[in-house]
């Protein structure tokens, strides 16, 4: 191996090429022969232990083996053997996700990890184990499937896994995820805006915390402008509920985690549907106000149209009929094994690089209403956060907010909230939906004729003419349309 790449040395922090190099992190790890992981120290100033004359010695128990007692084998506890290399740092997420092979210096030992196997120093292995052919895909282990189509399901899982990690400087949160965004941009039309995919922007705005989250604030240079918007998960530290994003992948008929082509079982992911009701714009100093195009669900209605057989399909798509239900589903020639409920926009086979957009502000014209948050409640079936009941001026229950806290007496309960409309939605009255809806078992939650219809709303806090996310929730369709709403222009920061 002729070349060595070291992130701390090769990425110049104040250099003009920093953004391009951060976006290229996925390719750097994926195309390297192996990644050396120095996981024994607290920071980059610590190297692997046991390098004579340079670093401190290892403290590892050894077992004498061999008839002449001349060989030594490290003695590693079973507890350690069962724990694969894992780090709770944001900056190591892409390293673990994309590296083909890892040589891990962890605790007092050295481990080998690849997508086929994990070995620790001194492990007994037969020749058959060492030289057996690899029959696994990298995505089987690391949860990343570089599909030729936009995989919003995979995106939601990666966000959840990443955002629960720690980072020394919160303003670096989006930089440490740049390699993932760059890779996904190859298939997501329009790329990403501050961590949210443009083609599913309305659904991505509905992210919810699974556990209490904290607002990220700049530490290194607090006075400088950084990209930590309240409307994106990037602006918050904590575990994101990937199920709160599932309306974004309602086009997927089969679970992409099922790699067995003979398994034609249907993925029972629920019936949650989100419909755009507002037009969003991103605001940047460089190019002003730009409309956010959301084409992800463009063909959703075509799939249930009475004359769907007569509708022309986008290039490369074929229509099929489910034998059990008679409902149409679709395949695309780029991946004949994956099935979709309706066609989605696809990138060119060799798309040009789409640079991620770092926008702190978005705007829209939408409806606003003022309501009161009543008592707090929790639903352990859905999350570890506290929710607040929403009530109208007559004290009628009209919806809920999921709060970014687990405190029952937090300052968002029993107070007046300014709500803005984000989108509309509906879901069928079926048991599987209860794991995603905090209000599902509330006696006043209406599921008329087997359908629950609602508007997605955001509670906002205003500062100097800019609105900031406090919490997101739902108001029943009938209640929202009966409330005294008004049309307003709003800028979210």
Averaged pLDDT for residues 287-296 = 91
SS3 of the chain: CCCCCCHHHHCCCCCCCHHHHHHCHHHHHHHCCCEEEECCCCCCCCCCCCCCCCCCCCCCCEEEECCCCCEEEECCCHHHHCCCCCCCEHHHHHHHHHCCEEEEEECCEEEEEECCCEEECCCCCCHHHHHCCCCCCHHHHHCCCCCCCCCHHHHHHHHHHHHCCECCCHHHCCHHHHHHHHHHCCCCCCCEECCEEHHHHHHHCCCEECCCCEECCCCCCCCCCCCCCCCCHHHEECCEEHHHHHHHHCCECCCCCCCCCCCCCCCCCCCCEEEECCCEEEEECCCEEEECCCCCCCCCHHHHCCCHHHCCCCCCEEEEECCCCCCEEEEECCEEEEEECCCCCCCCCCCCCCCCECCCEEEEEEEEEEEEEEEEEECCCCCCCEEEEEECCCCCEEEEEECCCCCCCCCCCCCEEEEEEEEEEEEECCHHHHHCCCCCCCCCCCCHHHEEEEEEEEEEEEECCEEEEEEEEEEEHHHHHHCCCEEEEEEEC
pLDDT tens, position by position, 160-215: 999 999 999 999 999 999 999 999 999 999 999 999 999 999 999 999 999 999 99
How high is the pLDDT of residue 18? Answer: 82
Q: What is the pLDDT of residue 55?
A: 81
In the 3-class helix/strand/coil scheme, how is 161-201 assigned residue by residue?
Answer: HHHCCECCCHHHCCHHHHHHHHHHCCCCCCCEECCEEHHHH
Count the neighbouring beta carbons within 10 Å of the beta carbon of residue 279.
Answer: 13
Percent of the chain residues past pLDDT 70, beyond the cut:
84
pLDDT of residue 115: 76
State the pLDDT at residue 109: 81
Average pLDDT over the chain, rounded to whole? 86
pLDDT at 143 over 60: no
For 15-108, strand residue ranges (E) read 35-38, 62-65, 71-74, 101-106
The pLDDT tens digits of the residues spanning 383-442 come to 999 999 999 999 999 999 999 999 887 788 889 999 999 999 999 999 889 989 999 999
For the whole model, what pTM was predicted? 0.87
The pLDDT-based confidence of 78 (bands split at 50, 70, 90) is very low
Residue 268 is predicted with a pLDDT of 59
pLDDT-derived band at 378 (thresholds 50, 70, 90) equals very high
- Radius of gyration, alpha carbons of the chain: 25
Lowest mean pLDDT among 300-309, 313-322, 345-354, 399-408: 300-309
Mean local confidence (pLDDT), 113-135: 72
pLDDT at 259: 46
Percent of the residues in the chain that have a pLDDT greater than 90, as a whole number: 55
Q: What is the reported pLDDT for 77?
A: 46
More confident residue, 12 or 171: 171
Looking at the predicted structure, is the pLDDT value of residue 265 above 50? Answer: no
Among the ranges given (3-17, 65-79, 189-203, 407-421), the one the predictor scored with the smallest mean pLDDT: 65-79
Domain boundaries, the chain: 7-142, 361-492
């Amino acid at each position: 191996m002729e070349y060595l790449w070291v992130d701390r040395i090769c990425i110049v922090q104040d250099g003009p090429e920093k953004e391009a190099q951060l976006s290229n992190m996925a390719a750097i790890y994926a195309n390297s022969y192996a990644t050396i992981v120095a996981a024994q120290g607290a920071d980059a100033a610590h190297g692997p232990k046991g390098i004579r004359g340079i670093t401190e010695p290892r403290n590892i128990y050894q077992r004498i083996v061999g008839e002449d007692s001349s060989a030594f084998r490290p003695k590693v506890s079973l507890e350690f053997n069962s724990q694969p290399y894992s780090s709770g740092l944001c900056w190591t997420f892409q390293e673990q996700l994309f590296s083909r092979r890892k040589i891990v210096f962890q605790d007092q030992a050295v481990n080998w990890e690849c997508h086929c196997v994990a070995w620790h120093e001194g492990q007994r292995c037969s020749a058959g184990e060492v030289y057996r052919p690899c029959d696994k895909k990298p995505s089987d282990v690391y949860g990343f499937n570089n599909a030729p189509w936009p995989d919003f399901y995979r995106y939601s899982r990666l966000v959840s896994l990443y955002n629960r990690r720690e980072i020394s400087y919160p303003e670096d949160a989006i930089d440490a995820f740049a390699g993932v965004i760059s890779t996904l941009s190859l298939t997501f039309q329009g790329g990403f805006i501050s961590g949210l995919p443009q083609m599913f922007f309305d659904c991505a705005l509905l992210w919810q915390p699974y556990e209490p989250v904290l607002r990220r604030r700049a530490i290194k240079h607090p006075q400088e402008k950084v990209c930590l918007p309240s409307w994106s998960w990037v602006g918050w530290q904590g575990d994101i509920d990937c199920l709160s994003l599932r309306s974004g992948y309602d086009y997927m008929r089969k679970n992409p985690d099922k790699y067995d082509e003979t398994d034609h079982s249907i993925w029972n992911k629920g019936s949650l549907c989100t419909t755009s009701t507002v037009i969003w714009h991103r605001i940047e100093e460089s190019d002003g106000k730009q409309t956010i195009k959301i084409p992800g669900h463009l063909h959703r209605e075509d799939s249930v149209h009475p004359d769907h057989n007569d509708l022309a399909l986008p290039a490369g798509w074929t229509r099929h009929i489910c034998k059990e239900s008679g409902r149409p589903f679709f395949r695309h020639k780029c991946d004949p094994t994956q099935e979709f409920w309706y066609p989605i926009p696809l990138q060119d086979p060799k798309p040009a690089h789409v640079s991620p957009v770092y926008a702190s502000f978005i705007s829209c014209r939408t409806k606003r209403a003022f309501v009161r948050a009543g008592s707090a409640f929790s639903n352990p079936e859905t999350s570890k956060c506290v929710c607040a009941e929403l009530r109208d001026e007559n004290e009628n229950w009209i919806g809920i907010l999921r709060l970014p806290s687990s405190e029952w007496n937090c300052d968002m309960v029993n107070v007046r909230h300014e709500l803005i409309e984000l989108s509309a939605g509906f879901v069928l009255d079926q048991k599987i939906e209860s794991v995603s809806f905090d209000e599902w078992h509330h006696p006043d939650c209406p599921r008329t004729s087997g359908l629950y219809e609602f508007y997605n709303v955001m509670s906002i806090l205003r500062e100097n003419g800019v609105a900031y996310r406090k919490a997101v929730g739902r108001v029943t369709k009938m209640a929202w349309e009966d409330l005294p709403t008004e049309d307003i222009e709003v800028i979210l920061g």
